[in-house]
Structure 1
Amino acid sequence: MTTGFKIIGIQIRTTNQNSQAQQDLTHLWSRFISDNLIETIPNKCSNDIFAIYTDYESDFTGRYTAIIGVTVSSLDKIPSDLIGREFPNAKFQKLTAKGLIPAAVADTWNKIWNNEISLERSYTYDYEVYGSDSQKGNNSEVDIYISIE
């Protein structure tokens, strides 16, 4: 069981079909970093960046919402160009992508999608945490939390 959290960030509705998510997520990450949005977010709990996948239309083949942001202690002050969401407690399987980022993260997701990693996914919300270990070149690590039944 993982404790719920609140997040402020930016979002996009996308799909994994025809590599659309790859383009959309690249754009979302680029905007988050280049606009230095982390500095505009009030009530930050830490500087760890979260990538959340939620509002699944069906499974990983359908449309879903991708959010990039940081956890916050309150949603009282959400900057006008950002969104705020609260995610409830849920049960997750934690996986760790190791290696050069973002390739290692993509490789882990491909293993999930191809059933190389056996999971009973609930498709409520999944997320990745980009902490200090995510910036270590070939020795980088990103934790991936997959919601399960």
Structure 2
Amino acid sequence: MMNRMHINGFFLLGISVRTTNQDGQAAKDIEELWCRFMDNNILTRIVDRTGDEVYCVYTDYETDHTGPYTAILGCRVNSLDNIPVGLVSHVVSPGTYVKYTAKSWLPNRVGQTWQHIWDTCRNRQYIADFDVYGIKAHNPESARVEIYVGVAR
């Protein structure tokens, strides 16, 4: 399921990794990023959060989904005035996004949904895309993860 919508920009604090989708590298790198996020209690280090949803933002694309990009795992914050040591900040610009929903059996279904996006979404901007892991993502068997893909107007 997908919907086209305008998203206001937002600030993000978290941790990041530079990766690529080539040879399954992103799956490994992003899994390690999640482990670092959980093992180091990064959520508790992000002050001034707008909520407890965890975002995985994909940005700084070198080319398109086949080239290197940066994945940032973190939370939306009200401002970037207080950046704790060891965390990175990012500004997601406002824009037009298409919303997809990955349903059940995480993380496999999120990966399958991204594969579908890579195969079918032709008007991507490659500025910022993101997944939102909210309360509905807590149970892997019945999870719902919202995926937002930046597109041309």
- Whether TM exceeds 0.5 here: the answer is yes
Measured in 2, the distance between the counterparts of 1:99 and 1:22 equals 18
1:34 maps to which residue? 39
Q: Could you report, residue by residue, the CA deviation over 1:74-132 in whole angstroms, capped at 9, with x for unpaired residues?
A: 111111110111111011000000011111100101111222xx441111110000000
1:128 maps to which residue? 131
Measured in 2, the distance between the counterparts of 1:44 and 1:50 equals 12
Measured in 1, the distance between the counterparts of 2:98 and 2:33 equals 25
Structure 2: gaps (5+ residues): 1-5
Q: Secondary structure at the match of 1:113?
A: helix
Q: Could you report, residue by residue, the CA deviation over 1:50-88 in whole angstroms, capped at 9, with x for unpaired residues?
A: 000001111100000100000000111111110111111
- Which residue identity does 2:16 align to in structure 1? Q
Matched-pair identity in %: 39
2:3 maps to which residue? none
Measured in 1, the distance between the counterparts of 2:122 and 2:7 equals 17
Measured in 1, the distance between the counterparts of 2:124 and 2:99 equals 12
- Which residue identity does 2:93 align to in structure 1? P
Q: Could you report, residue by residue, the CA deviation over 1:23-69 in whole angstroms, capped at 9, with x for unpaired residues?
A: 11011010001111100111111000000000111110000010000
Aligned match of 2:8 in 3, 9, 29?
3
Aligned match of 1:148 in 141, 146, 151?
151
Aligned match of 2:53 in 48, 54, 59?
48
- Which residue identity does 1:134 align to in structure 2? A
Measured in 2, the distance between the counterparts of 1:139 and 1:23 equals 23
Say whether residues 1:139 and 2:142 are aligned partners. Answer: yes
Equivalenced residue count is 147
Measured in 2, the distance between the counterparts of 1:30 and 1:100 equals 18
Which is strand-richer, 1 or 2?
Answer: 2
- Which residue identity does 1:104 align to in structure 2? R
- Which residue identity does 2:116 align to in structure 1? K
1:106 maps to which residue? 111
- Which residue identity does 2:147 align to in structure 1? I
State the superposition RMSD in angstroms.
Answer: 0.9
Q: Secondary structure at the match of 2:110?
A: helix
Say whether residues 1:61 and 2:66 are aligned partners. Answer: yes
